[in-house]
Amino acid sequence: MDCRKLWALVVTFFVMGMMASADSTAQSVSQSITKESTLEQVLKRKVLRVGMSTFVPWAMKDKTGKLIGFEIDVARRLAADMGVDVEFVPTNWSGIIPALLVGKFDVIIGGMGITPSRNLKVNFTIPYDYTGMSMVAHKKMADGFDSLDDFNKPSVVIAARMGSTPVDAAKKYMPKATLRLFNDESQVFQELINGRVHAVVSSAPTPAFQALKYPDRLFLPLDETFTKEPIGFAVRKGDPDTLNYFNNWIRVVTAEGWLSERKQYWFEGNDWKDKVQ
């Protein structure tokens, strides 16, 4: 065997060895992604931990302290389809994304609107629902207002929940108005009922519910929602398996018609009202 042949043999072995090791690295990376995915951990733990925040009629506690609502139905069905138990982690809305990132729960199912800025921090599933911003105003404070332009003045004060998409919508559509932010939804509406702000921006249908509840004080200045927002589950980044599972689960239940049936029950009917009060 001459020197050149031997050399070629050595090079061939070396290259093959490299390829084999690269291949096994790729394999072990994909294995570890699978093993560390939230999906695997949920199945191992047999519990799906869901981060949510009280928001009528998405999620709320009924008279017996049990959680009910549209999101709650979605999360319960999701867990049942995965064959695991569901555990709800009620969390303040303003801190819900950091809490997901540090692993206080596996997924946010809380009517979270998909926005580019949120999407930089978390991954979203495909939308399972759409909502829009709607506005309810105080009869005395906002007398005669009937368009977004009426509210877009420096003298107008608008209240919204801190860290929520209504804040972005108010800033975008009424940049001149003054914003006042609160930590939860009840404080926002209390401010309006007390007549200290002109209007509240919130996801439909809550403003309509409030206007019905206080017909002598509140009214709906706009006939329709003024934005359309996709709603998705939020999960931690770098986890393709979990995202894939949730996306396809949403496709399945949408195709079944189950989602729209649930949505109708919670958003268009009143059957659930006496469970809460």
- Binding residue count for another protein, defined by CB under 8 A: 39
Please tell me whether residue 145 binds another protein under the rule CB under 8 A.
Answer: no
Least distance from another protein to the Cβ atom of residue 73, Å: 16
Are 114 and 129 in contact, with CB atoms under 8 Å apart? no
Least distance from another protein to the Cβ atom of residue 24, Å: 29
**Residue position matching structure tokens 């609160």:** 182
Q: Collect all residues with Cβ–Cβ distance below 8 Å to 229 and sequence separation of at least 6.
A: 113, 114, 115, 130, 131, 132, 133, 165, 203
Please tell me whether residue 162 binds another protein under the rule CB under 8 A.
Answer: no
Contact residue for another protein among 15, 19, 24, 63 (CB under 8 A): 63
User: What token pair was written down for 16?
Assistant: 């093959």
DSSP state, residue 8: H
Please tell me whether residue 61 binds another protein under the rule CB under 8 A.
Answer: yes
Please tell me whether residue 139 binds another protein under the rule CB under 8 A.
Answer: no
The one-letter amino acid at 276? V
Bridge partners of 50, per DSSP, are: 88, 107
Least distance from another protein to the Cβ atom of residue 163, Å: 13
Other CB atoms within 10 A of residue 25 CB: 10
Contact residue for another protein among 89, 141, 181, 220 (CB under 8 A): 89
Contact residue for another protein among 138, 217, 236, 262 (CB under 8 A): 217
- The sheet carrying 47-52 orders its strands as 85-90, 47-52, 107-108, 234-235, 123-124
Please tell me whether residue 150 binds another protein under the rule CB under 8 A.
Answer: no
Please tell me whether residue 3 binds another protein under the rule CB under 8 A.
Answer: no
Instruction: Give the rounded distance of the alpha carbon of 220 from its chain centre.
Output: 25
d(CA 246, CA 26): 25
d(CA 99, CA 50): 11
User: What token pair was written down for 254?
Assistant: 């949408």
Options 130-138, 162-170, 193-201, 254-262: segment touching another protein (CB under 8 A)? 193-201
Contact residue for another protein among 35, 153, 213, 251 (CB under 8 A): 213
d(CA 224, CA 79): 34
Contact residue for another protein among 45, 121, 153, 172 (CB under 8 A): 45
Please tell me whether residue 91 binds another protein under the rule CB under 8 A.
Answer: yes
- Could you list the residues that contact another protein (CB under 8 A)? 45, 47, 53-56, 60-61, 63-65, 87, 89-92, 95, 98-99, 102-104, 183-187, 189-190, 193-195, 210, 213-214, 216-217, 276-277
